Chains A and B, each alone.
Chain A
């Protein structure tokens, strides 16, 4: 075991899979000599050579196409999109092409591709770096979408994503890269994709969340405990497909639920979680399922982040509405 930040856990997962499988390839803008703009691929070029870890021209769509073509030749590509706000340039390759390849070829071809990309607010990035666009991916049949919130989860989920024989979009929250350290086992281990994790057990209210909002929710749960409320925090970890079983089990136990996301209210996956709870556990509900989200504006100018991004106070406020409905 070693104390690792999330970014170290990611690098460790990448190194593990580069060693395990000669077909894995890492490429993107500045992922080679530079080790990535956040050092996620630090040292990998040196250890594995330019044939396995390489830089590309500055063109996201080309990177997507490169991944698809390499997958058609039997490789296991792990491309990086420098910031997920740039996904619009590569929407066709991801949502129009790789997500559909197994289906459109009737199973003849498949795309074992893991698209890694950072996103998320709270670090005053310039425009279109921090936008939460996971909702777009979650709406695309043929993709799985993973958003880890801890170093331990990041490593196990990334190894699973890379080994998955269908495309996975792996979104890494910028604020969580170096926010804290955690014990992470050496060597390989996996966490199943599509499996949520109860990060805190409770009996009065279920908070269903993912990404940086997991930590805001945990902080809110601690505060609420001081007021006598027992709050359960469910970290989705995979936002497509959802772990319905874990979500519903928690809601049936607590009878009250809310969903917390960093994305705007009209975006993200919160509405989907609410709909699933309404469909499957309405008879357990003591109150409507409320959402904590950002406002339906464009992502804020960096100085306005504090006012705009949802935080633990918003979680507490909404939690009280649900608890006292």
Chain B
């Protein structure tokens, strides 16, 4: 029988509290659009600030239109993004064209602003291979459905960049639920062990479908999981575009200077359902919680911030909204014009050179298709 020790050999509880104390939330803009952390203020020009706002408004409209088009049956798989504009777009805004994005399934906006044409994003949603034929020079993968897989792949892309001596980074995104996956830990740990230029973002929107973040882990923050890999971890207000930008910009600098990867947790919220495939958030989320997070809307605080600086007004915002609606209409038309997929198309993108079985089947399907 184990006897009771007079004194614990280590104060394990205190050690944990000390770790948790190291992960304070970085915020620059509060809910009123006031700068609360001047020292951390990123160096952005007026034009850049306006461009970031433009992208966030545009993406909010894109989300609204995507939900509506999905309901009309004109889009397929769609994971709503409203609420996550600061987390998604301010992080992408801190990147360079040479940087490689490995997105999760909710991270279509980052791809669009990195160069993926809108009509291809719509083809991805509908399930057409042309949606994933990323243009040359646009350094992204199509959205990853297997939660965590993008993390281990990011370690590889980043190591590849390091081996080539490139001054670029690989960046990837997952959600709070995704931080429970083995590939999440392996990805950050590999990147750490190889000191690879990677930025790992966890967009903590508090829910993995219906499961609240408290049921994912006893850890107080996701950012502290970086400790397991021996890499820096930062928690930021994910509803604050300037804080997200600053954190990613800083992580990028460290990465291209050969100092290795960073894990960034953005505290954010999705106003919509998990996906448009029948999820009903009223089953697991209270109206109070929704209201609380709506007050934190990244668009509201950034709008206030810019208006005070005389950099934004209703007219500018309406221009963006009109432009977004126009672009979306055009993109949907272009997606409609994509040729119907044939089985022979699918066969011809399997291998560089078709093996025997596919060659044989190709002839069979070609005959069917020519009828």
B142 touches A57 (CB 8 A): no
Of all chain B residues, the one with the shortest Cβ separation from A65 is: B152
A104 contacts across to B, CB distance below 8 A: 129, 132, 142
Say whether chain B's binding surface is mostly helix, strand, loop, or mixed.
helix
Report B141-179 CB contacts with A as 1/0, cut-off 8 Å: 110001001011111111111011000001000000000
Interface stretch, picked from A31-39, A212-220, A240-248, is: A240-248
What are 29 A-B contacts defined by CB distance under 8 Å? Answer: A56-B193, A57-B193, A59-B186, A61-B152, A65-B152, A65-B154, A66-B159, A69-B154, A69-B157, A70-B159, A72-B153, A72-B160, A73-B157, A74-B160, A92-B146, A96-B146, A102-B350, A103-B129, A103-B346, A103-B350, A104-B129, A104-B142, A105-B134, A106-B129, A106-B133, A142-B350, A166-B352, A194-B356, A241-B358
User: Which residues of A approach B to under 8 Å, CB–CB?
Assistant: 51, 56-57, 59, 61-62, 64-75, 92-93, 96-97, 102-110, 141-142, 144, 164-166, 194, 241-245
Among all A-B residue pairs, the 4 with the closest Cβ atoms: A69-B156, A65-B152, A73-B160, A62-B186
Residues in A whose Cβ lies below 8 Å from that of B130:
106
* B88 CB within 8 Å of chain A: no
Asked if residues A62 and B190 are in contact (CB atoms below 8 Å), the reply is yes
Assembled-state Cα–Cα distance A92/B161 (Å):
24
Check B183–A61 contact: CB distance below 8 A.
yes
- What is the count of residue pairs linking A and B with beta-carbon distances less than 8 angstroms? 134
Q: Are A93 and B152 CB-contacts (below 8 A) given A59-B190, A106-B133?
A: yes
Is B155 touching A105 in the complex (CB atoms < 8 A)? no
Instruction: Determine how close the nearest CB of chain B comes to the CB of A15; give it in whole angstroms.
Output: 20
- Minimum CB distance partner of A52 in chain B: B163
Residues in A whose Cβ lies below 8 Å from that of B146: 92, 96-97
A165 and B350 alpha carbons, distance in the complex (Å): 11
B161 touches A108 (CB 8 A): no
Residues of A within 8 A of B73 (CB): none
Report how far A4 CA is from B228 CA in the complex, Å.
45
Interface residues in chain B, defined as those with a beta carbon under 8 Å from any beta carbon in chain A: 100, 129-130, 132-134, 136, 141-142, 146, 149, 151-161, 163-164, 170, 182-183, 186-187, 189-190, 193, 346, 349-352, 355-358
> B356 near A244 (CB under 8 angstroms)?
yes
Q: Please name all residues of chain B whose beta carbon is closer than 8 Å to the beta carbon of A109 when the two chains form the complex.
A: 134, 141
Q: Is B189 touching A105 in the complex (CB atoms < 8 A)?
A: no
Residues of A within 8 A of B134 (CB): 105, 108-109
Report yes or no: B186 in contact with A61, Cβ–Cβ below 8 A.
Answer: yes
Please, which residues of chain B bring their CB within 8 A of the CB of A68? 152-153, 156
A66 and B152 in contact (CB under 8 A), knowing A59-B190, A61-B183, A109-B141? Answer: yes
Interfacial chain B residues near A107, Cβ < 8 Å? 133, 349
Note all chain A residues with C-beta closer than 8 A to B132. Answer: 104-106, 108
In the assembled complex, which residues on chain A have CB atoms less than 8 Å from the CB atom of B151? 65
Chain A residues, CB < 8 A from B141: 72, 105, 109
Please give, as numbers and ranges, the residues of chain A lying within 8 Å of B350 by CB-CB distance: 102-103, 141-142
- In the complex, which residues of chain B have a beta carbon less than 8 angstroms from the beta carbon of A62? 152, 155, 183, 186-187, 189-190
Chain A residue contacts of B163, Cβ below 8 A: 51, 70, 73, 75
In the bound complex, do residue B149 and residue A96 qualify as a contact, i.e. CB atoms below 8 Å apart? yes
Do the beta carbons of A65 and B190 come within 8 Å of each other?
yes
